Structure 1
Amino acid sequence: MIICSVCVDSCIGGYISFYSKQPPALISALHKASHVVNGIKMVNWYMFFAGVDAGYGFFAPNVSSGFILEFKTCDSTGAPAHLRWLPDFTHQESYIRYSSLIDAFQDKLIAEDKLSEKQHLNLRRLNAIMRSIATSMLAADESTDKIEAAVYLYHFPSLEMFRLSDKEPSLLFIDQLIISAK
């Protein structure tokens, strides 16, 4: 029931935000009902941490590009030591949860002054997760003085640009946190 509610909310919400249209009354009522279920605090936390609120964008017309996290470790002189795109995990489940989590970074694309209270809370969670991953990387490597954790969004060329030879995706910088060992 939770997953169905999340799918309905994601699909209708994506349609409304993409087309900037108000849906018919029946669809609007369905959207409000899904918000009631998804708005329950325990359900909302479960959706976020289990990743069930991410990855259902394919039901909506505005399928998003993928996000990636980059972790740049720096030594005490500030020189980059290593560039990592994925933390070390000890369990297969961690990889699955991490891949589900990445889609949650969609909230970082909304202008700060237009965020709802729930979106502000999600941004704080995302920053806490980035900080937690970077902190565990710092603890695992004594030669690292700081880690620059950055979020990027893949930007794929349009069909027109693809025809004109721009075939490679690029990375669009979204946000960055710097975590020091001290």
Structure 2
Amino acid sequence: MNRSKITLKERLFLFFTAIHLILIILVCINSSINAYNLVFNENVKNPPLTKITDAIKLVLRIPLTQQYSVMAGIDAGYGFFAPNVASGYVLQFSIKDTSNTVIRQVYLPKLKTNEGLIRYNTLLGAFQARFKALDDERKKIGKSKNKVASNKSLYTRYLDVVIKSIGRNIWLSNNDYSKDQKMSATLYLYEFPNLKESLMGDYKPELINILTLEVNKK
């Protein structure tokens, strides 16, 4: 009885296919655990999950493995199968008169190039971390008896400085604004309608107020 022999080329193909699939599964498991910790606010390390993620990181740090996962797009997690859908954020700057009435609203600083616009949109994506930090601060305040705000992290304070710096740039680049006027910056989460609302014909997105900061001219 003749048995078909697997050639060396076919063996190598099966070997690299298996390695490729294993890397995809490991990265997706790691992404799922990280997403679970983010959504359910599991800041305290869960020993079983920590052991799994640590083991996966050791595998992914094997020489040439990390480079291959980047080139093959495996490191994107579930983004390997489809682009990851990120939350959208809108930064609104409101100019107010002496009676605290909004007289103008600005959404973009004066950008001279398309590259600047792309970088600005990329910067807005960094506020996902600010949203998570703000949610953590509110939970800590809710658990605190004296209702005193917790100390902000260094990265949170950095993002607040970025918002105020953009506001100052808008203020100083326009000569129409008087010294008596005020400016506030509001960070909105751009929430799209869910599937049920879309089927009912409600396509209008909603802006959720996340954070409001006062911007000083100096």
TM-score (norm: length of structure 2): 0.55
* Runs (5+) with no aligned partner, structure 1: 1-7, 35-55
1:60-139 equivalence runs, <5 A:
63-107=85-129, 108-109=131-132, 110-112=135-137, 120-139=153-172
**2:55 paired residue number:** 29
**1:172 paired residue number:** 208
In the TM superposition, residue 64 of structure 1 has moved relative to its aligned partner by 3.4
What amino acid is the match of 1:90? K
Q: Distance in 1 between matches of 2:165 and 2:172?
A: 11
In the TM superposition, residue 18 of structure 1 has moved relative to its aligned partner by 4.3
**2:5 paired residue number:** none
In the TM superposition, residue 67 of structure 1 has moved relative to its aligned partner by 0.7
**2:189 paired residue number:** 153
Distance 1:57 1:82, change over 3 A: farther
Q: Distance in 2 between matches of 1:68 and 1:33?
A: 39
Q: Distance in 1 between matches of 2:99 and 2:175?
A: 14
Q: CA RMSD in A?
A: 3.8
What amino acid is the match of 1:164? M
Q: Distance in 2 between matches of 1:143 and 1:165?
A: 42
Q: How many residue pairs end up in the alignment?
A: 152
* Runs (5+) with no aligned partner, structure 2: 1-26, 61-75, 141-151
Secondary structure in 1 aligned to 2:111?
coil
What amino acid is the match of 1:88? K
Q: Which has the larger radius of gyration?
A: 2
RCO comparison, higher one (Cα < 8 Å, 6+): 1
TM-score (norm: length of structure 1): 0.64
User: CA offsets per residue over residues 105-151 of structure 1, 9 Å max, x none?
Assistant: 11223321669xxx822211111011001111121234432211110
Q: Distance in 1 between matches of 2:51 and 2:212?
A: 41
CA contact (8 A) 2:191 2:208 kept: yes
User: CA offsets per residue over residues 12-58 of structure 1, 9 Å max, x none?
Assistant: 62354347786584543345899xxxxxxxxxxxxxxxxxxxxx796
CA contact (8 A) 1:152 1:171 kept: yes
Secondary structure in 2 aligned to 1:138?
helix
Distance 1:136 1:16, change over 3 A: same
Secondary structure in 1 aligned to 2:153?
helix
Identity %: 29
**2:38 paired residue number:** 17
**2:12 paired residue number:** none
